[in-house]
Amino acid sequence: MKISSIVSTLLLGVMVAFSGCGTDADEMVNPETTYSYSVKVTNLTAGQPMSPVLVSSASLFTVGEEASLGLEKLAEGGDNSVLLDANGVSGAGLLVPGASETMSLTVKSQKLNVATMLVKTNDGFAGVDSLDVSSLAVGESQTLYMSVYDAGTEANSETNTTVAAFGVEGFSATRDDVNVVTVHSGIISKDDGLSTSALSALEKFNNPAAMVSVTRTK
Amino acid sequence: MKSTLTKLALTSALIMSSSLMALEIDVKITNLTSGINFTPLLVSAHDSSTKLFIAGSTASTNLKAMAEGGDISGLVADLDNINANTISNPVNAEDASKNLLAPGASTVASLTTAAGNDYLSIVAMMLPTNDGFVAMNSVKIPTEVGTYKYVLNAHDAGTEANTELSADIPALANGTGATGLATASEGFVHIHRGNVGDTDSSAGISDINASTQRFLNPVASVIITVK
């Protein structure tokens, strides 16, 4: 059984080397097979601390669709507790600019999802949705870069009463933005002309904002 | 008419042999931005020697019309002349009341490509910008059955100064404007530097809203499904 699932995994890898999903080969994978991964996340921004990183086999967001309550809490306040379940693992604490953290998880899925708030934004988060790691054999790695998304749940006012980094309650149940997840448009900051912003040029960012290296360990 | 498209001399045996297959593909385009609309999209499969523009070079008249005013008719005519397989404005085909692809929204263009039309191009103006457009520029269409994902960047046609004034941008209500940000166009197609914006829609350096109408790359994702 184990050999056949490895063989089918290799076949799947060949079939979808450039793509996101397999079809027929998926059915050949034993649904009870578990996979272990170590996931290293590096904060590539100049001045944006990142909230405890969530790595999960469950999908966390879809661009163009409404954010879940769990994603809203992560993106507005850095709180990953709603999204964190048996499918996932959380980083130990804030991931400061330039720092890396490695998390390990064992799951039945060959798709991984990552999300972490950029703390000095209203509702910005770096993430990846449904990363296909089915082509990885044990010991192999794959690296990608994460863009910053906007949860679309809070207006990007950049004020010290709405941005979680200033010690206020980041999460607010009110949704006063476009209410779909999109790529973040960046912050303006008071240094770039938004006089009501509590942010400075140090907190500006561009894509990519973080690097993710996935290594399959089992 | 052909001269308005840039022809490249690519005649390798490899390309010629791969040109013999016709394909059925779905092209799903998603607007990834939080506050920029795409005007009518042009999705076209064409031969390997065709490009709608070359980054670093001057835009054609018809590319300029698309980037500054959202008018794709000139580019469509160019592509029709070389027997490309083109879908115009798939958003409107799905919903006759719409012409814009809104932030976060998706549309699907289904194409049957004639033999030899194995390269794909996609363009649409980005609103509000002066001459910004989203682009996939002549990418080889995969031939194996499967699903393939790409992300697209914002380009600047280089044909109009980025004044960010309502008088110069179709999407913005006419206002009094102000001095604006730039008085000369760049003269060549390049990666867009982004909107600046400010907090006043009819005065100051820009009529674009800095909080809601800036953007970062990537601005669109494309999923090609080869059937």
Is residue B103 less than 8 Å (CB to CB) from chain A? yes
**Confidence category of residue A190, pLDDT binned at 50, 70, 90:** very high
Contacts by residues A5-9 (CB-CB < 8 Å, ≥ 24 positions apart): A5/A29, A5/A30, A5/A33, A6/A137, A9/A110, A9/A134, A9/A137
Residue A12 has pLDDT above 90, yes or no: no
Extract the tokens encoding A107. 């799951």
Count how many residues are written for chain B. Answer: 227
**Which residue on chain B is closest to A156 by alpha carbon?**
B211
For residues B55 and B51, what is the distance between their CA atoms, to the nearest angstrom? Answer: 10
Reading phi first (left if > 0) and then psi (alpha if -120 to 50, else beta), residue B148 is in: beta
pLDDT digits (tens, 9 = 90+) for A112-135: 999 999 999 999 999 999 999 999
DSSP for A54-119, written as a single string: EEESS----TTSPPPHHHHHHHHH---TTT-STTEEE-SS-B-TT-EEEEEEEES-SEEEEEEEBT
CB-based burial label for B61 (10 Å; 0-12, 13-18, 19+): exposed
Cross-chain residue pair B33–A183, CB shorter than 8 Å: yes
The domains found in chain A, sorted by start residue, are: 1-32 (no CATH), 34-216 (2.60.40)
Which chain B residues in 136-155 lie under 8 Å from chain A, judged by CB atoms? 142, 146-149
pLDDT digits (tens, 9 = 90+) for B122-145: 999 999 999 999 999 999 999 999
Cβ contact B223:B187 at 8 Å? no
**pLDDT above 70 coverage of chain A, percent:** 87
List the domain boundaries for chain B. 22-160+218-226
Residue A57 has pLDDT above 90, yes or no: yes
What integer pLDDT is reported at residue B173 of this predicted model? Answer: 64
Residues of A in Cβ contact (< 8 Å) with B211: 155-158, 188, 194
Residue A34 has pLDDT above 60, yes or no: yes
What ipTM is given for this predicted complex?
0.83
What integer pLDDT is reported at residue B104 of this predicted model? Answer: 96
Output the CA torsion sign for B74, B80, B86, B91. positive
Is residue A31 less than 8 Å (CB to CB) from chain B? no
Pick from A63, A64, A185: CB nearest B216:
A185
Residues of A in Cβ contact (< 8 Å) with B216: 147-148, 183-186, 206-207
**Which residue on chain A is closest to B215 by alpha carbon?**
A185
CATH number for the segment(s) B22-160+218-226 = 2.60.40.2130
Choosing among B211, B215, B224, B226, which should be mutated to test the A contact, i.e. which has the most A CBs within 10 A? B211
**CA dihedral defined by A12, A16, A20, A21, rounded to 10 degrees?**
-40
What integer pLDDT is reported at residue B175 of this predicted model? Answer: 57
A174, amino acid identity: T
Is residue B203 less than 8 Å (CB to CB) from chain A? no
Output the CA torsion sign for A94, A117, B134, B132. negative
Which residues in chain B show pLDDT less than 50?
1-4, 7-19
Higher-confidence position of A11 and A173: A173
Contacts of B171 (CB under 8 A, 6+ apart): B37, B127, B128
pLDDT digits (tens, 9 = 90+) for A137-154: 999 999 999 999 999 999
Residues paired with residue B44 on neighbouring β-strands, in sequence order: B86, B121
What integer pLDDT is reported at residue A3 of this predicted model? Answer: 38
Residues of B in Cβ contact (< 8 Å) with A183: 32-34, 215-216, 218-219
Residue A38 has pLDDT above 60, yes or no: yes
Token match 């601005």: residue?
A: B219
Is residue A135 less than 8 Å (CB to CB) from chain B? no
